Structure 1
Amino acid sequence: MLVDSAHLSYCTNIHAGDGWQEHFDALKTNLPKVKQRLSPDRAFGIGLRISNRASHELQSEENFQEFTNWLDANDMYIFTMNGFPYGEFHHEEVKENVHSPDWTSTDRLFYTLRLIGILAKFLPDGMDGGISTSPLSYRRWFKTEETKKIATQVATRNIIEVVEQLYRIKHVSDKILHLDIEPEPDGLLETGDEFLNWYHEYLIPIGRQHFQNKFNLDEDKADEVIKTHVRLCYDVCHFALGYEDHEEMMRKLEAEQILIGKFQISAALKANFPKEPRKRKLITQAFAEFDEPTYLHQVIAQTDTGKIRRYKDLPDALADADHPDTQDATEWRAHFHVPVFLSEYELLESTQQDILKVLDLHKEKRRTAHIEVETYTWNVLPKDLKLPLENSIIRELTWVRDELTK
């Protein structure tokens, strides 16, 4: 739905499924109800997530036409897609395999190109479209700086192949599509600064050479093509996890003229640690209630000197909580996408204040046309936090809409 000239929706990775028919059944079950409550008289935008398998199946003429007819009949449109998870995302252990295949693989490249073809067909005229994607790879797969550097180079070259396709689409149709890179904990690109460094040390140099050699573009034009078609997916949860300063990051992006493709509105868990051992124990026990086996829940601790300590997953942080060398931790933040409309979870809190800060910065100056709520952990939340899915989606979107229009 359009809210103050930005398209607001939720990411359909909330719904389980691998094949197209599973995806489509979930859309037909949930989206009309959400639209009826939130946008009964105006078109409703979809943040579509489909798996690799479904991307093949949607290319069939029958499936494509059926979906087109359904969108038209229900007054819905697609403006953004989530191309990060490649396969099944709910009914099996995902963990670090969410990055697989990574951007060093042609499987990732071809999957993304299929998504681009799909989005180009469905995107309404006069609207830009984005596809969010993995931050190149999972950094713990690379044991040395040299292997990490090689992986970054290969991944960047594959991304430039995508940029070329986006450049061609714009040339023939005037539609602007962009690939939105999503930094996250333990990604090869983990922070906003790492994204910016990659942009300047790898993407721009490799991209310039490619577009100069293949299309005879000068440096300025090549840079313009790259900056038009490669943007930042600003997942608020991920930036909050790293204790990053949102206002400072916005300034850096503006100074470098690098665009935000979309805001993903999401919240992490957090808690301050008191000095008293018994109270610290109660807080770690509260975090343990969110320890589940499907997704990675990295923990980033901040110490009393302001240093950062990173844990691969929540069980690693819990196992280290009582160690004498870790008693300097003053705060934990855990990568668990909790509902955005709640700020407290008994002894724990959420990073909701980070969302409010980002929305305020967006209201101050429109920074993207795409805003997508991404809470995908409903099926693994503790029982007392679960609500009927339809009601949860509506409550999240209503909360964000109301904050945007204050």
Structure 2
Amino acid sequence: MRVHRPDGRPVHLSYCTNVHPAEDLSGIIGQLDTYAVAVRERLGADVLGLGLWLAAPVAAVLAEDGEARRGLRRELDVRGLEVVTLNGFPYEAFQAPVVKHAVYRPDWTTPERLDHTLNLARILVDLLPADADRGSVSTLPLAWREPWPAERRDAARRMLDRLAEGLSEIAWQTGRVVRVAFEPEPGCVAETSAQAVDMLAGTDTDRLGVCLDLAHLACAWEEPKAAVDRLAAAGIPIVKVQVSAALEVADPVAARPVLQRYAEPRFLHQTRTAAGHACDDLDLALAENPPGPWRIHFHVPLHAPPAPPLTATTPLLRDALAVVDCDHFDVETYTWDVLPAGQRPTSPAELADGIAGELAWTRDQLTGARA
């Protein structure tokens, strides 16, 4: 979906399909019919943007088969769908019953992660609309924070150098530019904008940059303008923004019965306090019970506030959208299926309603149409 900022700049707005479990080509095409077309119709949009998630096995097949890529492009075109960005963070099985730390493997010390990311870049070249300036692929910020000895750090740097070389080769061969965006996340080697600067110092910033996930930014208790200014001063481009909101609670003791409904077994819900106390999952925070306020890495619907006394970090999200300079915005609420009962969609139609509501809300924030 193309929208214009208040100053007239055009940007791409999409929703990330990692909310859907399909990991083979027929399943992916099926989810386009079940969800993406329905979302587009609810929004009344001629074209809907997707932040496509392709698991590693199907990405490997598509990267080797040009006719399969062209076939996928045709399937998108006939449904009024377009892709300028891919989510390369989850490698596979992202909607498995238990994901937790597995989402960080393989990491950027391994050739598997490099190969997968370059496969995604090759695929994206054939999916990009003809009038798109460039494509983007988001990925993890190197690895989970431990173990992280010098030899793993050096291995990751070599992989980033090879990644930049591979992206340059793809651009030379095809004439299309794809940039890779590293996504700071709580608990990882880079979870703050300052750590992102350190991570990418000395790399090819024509090819590599940052994916700014706004729920992660909130959980790091960073002020958006300070983070954006820090990245700009270091010459690190914001290649992609993941539009997301985290849970927030002022008094976790009073909110404990409600919080317990969000402590679920599939995803990791890193919890950070304003004073800097860090817990790697919500159940650990509930056991340790540090003083509030807390921010919790649980992506909640953008347009629907959580049950009181919980709130969401949408005020920070709005502040970030007002100051960030980027042209790829991807709504990434992958947690619809693990929301507490009563907030969780119970049918494909309800999920399409929710995704459309989030996109409409984000469109209004980006265009200045909000009240």
Query: TM-score, normalization: structure 1?
Result: 0.84
- Contact (CA 8 Å) 1:17, 1:89: kept in 2 or not? no
Q: What is the number of residues matched between the two proteins? A: 357
Residue type at the aligned position of 2:295: R
Shift of 1:333: 0.9
Residue type at the aligned position of 1:283: A
Q: How does 1:236-315 map to 2 (within 5 A)?
A: 236-273=214-251, 280-302=252-274, 307-315=275-283
Tell me the secondary structure at the aligned position of residue 294 of structure 1.
coil
Q: Deviations over 1:112-168 (max 9, x none)?
A: 11111101121123421000001101113x1xxxx4332122112112211111112
Q: How does 1:77-156 map to 2 (within 5 A)?
A: 77-125=82-130, 126-140=132-146, 142=147, 147-156=148-157
Residue type at the aligned position of 1:300: R
Q: How does 1:390-405 map to 2 (within 5 A)?
A: 390-405=352-367
Shift of 1:250: 1.3
- Contact (CA 8 Å) 1:93, 1:295: kept in 2 or not? yes
- Contact (CA 8 Å) 1:179, 1:230: kept in 2 or not? yes
Distance in 1, matches of 2:367 and 2:166, equals 37
Residue type at the aligned position of 2:136: G
Residue type at the aligned position of 2:321: L
- Contact (CA 8 Å) 1:270, 1:332: kept in 2 or not? yes
Shift of 1:281: 3.0
Q: Which has the higher helix share?
A: 1
Query: What is aligned with 2:3?
Result: 3
% of aligned pairs identical? 33
Tell me the secondary structure at the aligned position of residue 382 of structure 1.
coil
Alignment gaps of 5+ in structure 1: 208-225, 274-279
- Contact (CA 8 Å) 2:38, 2:352: kept in 1 or not? yes
- Contact (CA 8 Å) 2:200, 2:209: kept in 1 or not? no
Query: What is aligned with 1:217?
Result: none
Distance in 2, matches of 1:375 and 1:187, equals 20
Whether 2:74 is the aligned partner of 1:69: answer yes
- Contact (CA 8 Å) 2:210, 2:240: kept in 1 or not? yes
Residue type at the aligned position of 1:257: G
Distance in 2, matches of 1:227 and 1:132, equals 14
Shift of 1:287: 1.2
- Contact (CA 8 Å) 1:83, 1:115: kept in 2 or not? yes
Query: TM-score, normalization: structure 2?
Result: 0.92
Distance in 2, matches of 1:353 and 1:131, equals 27
- Contact (CA 8 Å) 2:86, 2:137: kept in 1 or not? yes
Runs of 4+ deviating beyond 3 Å = 59-63
Distance in 1, matches of 2:77 and 2:306, equals 40
Whether 2:323 is the aligned partner of 1:361: answer yes
Distance in 1, matches of 2:109 and 2:57, equals 20
Distance in 1, matches of 2:71 and 2:38, equals 19
- Contact (CA 8 Å) 1:343, 1:351: kept in 2 or not? no
Query: What is aligned with 1:233?
Result: 211
Distance in 1, matches of 2:44 and 2:241, equals 20
Distance in 1, matches of 2:113 and 2:153, equals 14
- Contact (CA 8 Å) 1:233, 1:263: kept in 2 or not? yes
Query: What is aligned with 1:210?
Result: none
Query: What is aligned with 2:7?
Result: none
Distance in 1, matches of 2:253 and 2:226, equals 35
Shift of 1:282: 2.8
Distance in 2, matches of 1:194 and 1:169, equals 28
Query: What is aligned with 1:375?
Result: 333
Q: Report the RMSD for the aligned CA atoms in angstroms.
A: 1.6
Distance in 2, matches of 1:69 and 1:21, equals 14
Residue type at the aligned position of 2:194: D
Tell me the secondary structure at the aligned position of residue 48 of structure 1.
strand
Q: How does 1:319-358 map to 2 (within 5 A)?
A: 319-321=287-289, 326=290, 329-358=291-320
Whether 2:19 is the aligned partner of 1:14: answer yes
Distance in 2, matches of 1:199 and 1:90, equals 30
Q: Deviations over 1:46-65 (max 9, x none)?
A: 21101001112334455334
Distance in 1, matches of 2:170 and 2:68, equals 23
Query: What is aligned with 1:218?
Result: none
- Contact (CA 8 Å) 1:133, 1:180: kept in 2 or not? yes
Tell me the secondary structure at the aligned position of residue 257 of structure 2.
helix
Shift of 1:39: 4.7
Residue type at the aligned position of 1:384: G
Aligned match for 1:46, one of 39, 50, 55: 50
Residue type at the aligned position of 1:373: V
Distance in 1, matches of 2:224 and 2:239, equals 16
Alignment gaps of 5+ in structure 2: 5-9
Distance in 2, matches of 1:107 and 1:165, equals 14
- Contact (CA 8 Å) 2:125, 2:174: kept in 1 or not? no
